[in-house]
Structure formats: C-alpha cells, structure tokens
C-alpha cells in the first residue's frame, strides 16, 4: 500500500510539473507572437480615411498619405500590405497598393461573394 501511495505522489508531482511547463510555454509562445506581429499587422481599417473614386473597373475607395498624415493605422496597413506583396484581404475587403505612385496610395473594394 505504501508503494502505491509513493507512486501516486510521484505521478501527481510529475503532472504538476508538466502543467507548470505548459503554462510557461503558452506565455512564451504568446510573447513570440506579439513580437512577430509587432504592430505591423495590427491596424483598424475604420481609423483610415478613405475617399470614393471612379476607376476603369468601377467605383472603389482609396487612402493616401495626404489624407492620413501621421495616422499609425495607415502606416501599419502599408507595412502589412508590403509584407503581403501589395495585395491582401481583410475584414471583407480586398486591398491593393498602387505601384505607380511615388507616395503610397491604397485601394480597397468589398470582396464579392461567389454566386451559387
């Protein structure tokens, strides 16, 4: 009976140590994820100023440096777009970076849902 109690105590100690290691691992992984994102992909599209324009393929919205001077969300959006090759989807919109401009301009259109 005494050996069984010793074994149970050892198993409980082991489980407690594993649990503590898992908690610490989760903290470390969260810290790594925060550092990896480091505000580059953290931006709120609602804080970016947009203007409606008519293009060759229809109406869209665009945001420019002039409209968003000093706007961190605009700067973070630009960094995120550049990290994704100038095109990406987020929050129901398709975003693209105009390459012809010496000052960055971003366009956006709602993502169309496929008709079934």
Q: How far apart are CA 79 and CA 63, in angstroms?
A: 14
**Alpha-carbon distance 77 to 40, whole Å?**
7
Output the pLDDT for position 76.
92
Burial of 88 (0-12, 13-18, 19+ CB in 10 A): middle
Who wins on pLDDT, 96 or 115? Answer: 96
Looking at every residue in the chain, the average pLDDT score rounds to: 86
Q: Measure Cα distances from 25 to 14, 20, 33, 34, 42 in Å.
A: 16, 9, 12, 14, 24
Q: Dump pLDDT digits (tens) for 59-78.
A: 999 999 999 999 999 999 99
pLDDT at 114 (0 to 100): 63
- Which secondary structure element, helix H or strand E, spans residue 77, and what is its range? helix 72-83
* pLDDT band for position 103 (cuts 50, 70, 90): confident
> In this structure, what are the phi and psi dihedrals at residue 93, rounded to the nearest 5 degrees?
-125, 150
With a pLDDT cut of 70, the percent of the chain lying above it is 86
Per-residue model confidence as pLDDT tens digits over 15-52: 888 888 887 887 777 667 666 655 456 889 999 999 99
């Amino acid at each position: 009976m005494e050996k069984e109690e010793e074994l149970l105590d050892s198993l409980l100690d082991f489980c407690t140590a594993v649990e503590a290691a898992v908690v610490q691992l989760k903290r470390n992984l969260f810290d790594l994820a925060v550092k990896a994102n480091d505000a580059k992909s953290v931006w709120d599209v609602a804080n970016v100023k947009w203007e409606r324009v008519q293009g060759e393929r229809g109406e869209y919205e665009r945001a420019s440096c002039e409209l968003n001077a000093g706007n961190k969300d605009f700067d973070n959006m630009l960094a995120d777009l550049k990290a994704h090759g100038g095109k990406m989807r987020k929050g129901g919109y398709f975003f693209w970076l105009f390459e012809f401009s010496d000052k960055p301009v971003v366009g956006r259109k709602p993502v169309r849902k496929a008709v079934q």
